[in-house]
Amino acid sequence: MTTTTTRSAHSNPAPAPTAPDGIGPSKEDGRVLNIFSHGFLIIWALLVTIPLVWAVIQSFKTDREILTNPLSLPSSLNFDAFGRAWSKGHIGEYFLNTVVVMVFSVSLTMLLGAMVAYVLARYPFPGNRFIYYLFVVGLTMPIFLGLVPLYLTVKNFAASLGLESVIGLNTYGGLILVYVAYSLPFTVFFLHAFFRTLPTTIAEAGMMDGAGHSRLFFRIMLPMAKPGLISVGLFNIIGQWNQFLLPKLLMFPQSGFEKGHFVITQGLLELANNSKYETDWARLFAGMTLAMLPILAVYLAFNRQIQAGLTGATVK
């Protein structure tokens, strides 16, 4: 009797418990969510890509084709507009000015931002969180509210030091310092979270081997934070390259005989104003294309590094 009961229990196992109705997402819900998210991303990509592609196509047309058939393809590839934009439109000069500014501004932003973020993330001291939240507040500050104080600060600070020709208005130095101050809050906020994910055992081993704080930072911790540095550095490059309001405020001739050190965004506005009177629309579109190419090339070249840096902190 006992044997029969045991065999029947093994031959008819109890059914697996099922989740009550309404608990947990169903396959249909996940499929609908995927369709909605992918559809939204496709629409967003089209809204961003179509105007850029259209602008590039216009740069290969003649002015007559642009005005008569703006939605058609060019009858032939005409590269003359690029030459006119580079030389006559002074895009080459504006391009060089922007590169000079960004070489120093991005380098200083990354160096200072990494040092501040590392100290705030790894060294507890009185006022640590207060300083950190000051940088966080800097992310929420609308730049429009600080235009007048910023203009007066740059002007008066350079005058007080007698360095109007170095860090004053309409100088590369003044714009570089403003770019650094503008980009530091985001850089510190991003790298602070990244430095907190780095293992402490390696830092402790370096200290036991006799490495000082500076050597520990530059030789050990900074190379370990390379993915985060690349990601935030590319964001700073894109943001400073496309910045228009700050150069418009600070980079302009102080007199009628002085030449303004315009950057690429100011140069495009100048090119647009001149194209209205010279009716050279192809040159304007060619200048826009030349301004887009460096940022597009940088993003395509470092796309994987950006994704690795953004997901590195969460994965670790």
On whether the CB atoms of residues 250 and 224 are closer than 8 A, the answer is no
In this prediction, residue 201 carries a pLDDT of 85
In this prediction, residue 9 carries a pLDDT of 45
Question: Comparing 28 with 138, which gets the higher pLDDT?
Answer: 138
In this prediction, residue 301 carries a pLDDT of 81
On whether the CB atoms of residues 158 and 168 are closer than 8 A, the answer is yes
In this prediction, residue 135 carries a pLDDT of 93
* 3-state SS string for 181-219: HHHHHHHHHHHHHHHHCCCHHHHHHHHHCCCCHHHHHHH
Is the pLDDT reported for residue 17 higher than 60? Answer: no
In this prediction, residue 6 carries a pLDDT of 45
For 123-132, what is the mean pLDDT? 93
In the structure encoding, which two tokens stand for residue 65, read together?
A: 């084709």
Q: Which residues of 152-191 are buried (b: 16+ CB within 10 A; e: fewer)?
A: eebeeebeeeeebeebbbbbbbbbbbbbbbbbbbbbbbbb
* Residue range 250-262, pLDDT digits in tens: 987 765 445 567 8
In the chain, domain spans: 82-315
Q: What percent of the chain has pLDDT over 90?
A: 37
Domain 82-315 has CATH 1.10.3720.10: yes
Q: Determine whether 108 is exposed, middle or buried from the number of CB atoms within 10 Å of its CB (0-12, 13-18, 19+).
A: middle
The whole-chain average pLDDT of the chain stands at: 83
In this prediction, residue 29 carries a pLDDT of 65
On whether the CB atoms of residues 274 and 213 are closer than 8 A, the answer is no
pLDDT tier at 312, thresholds 50, 70, 90: low
Distance CA 238, CA 171 (A): 21
Is the pLDDT reported for residue 15 higher than 70? Answer: no
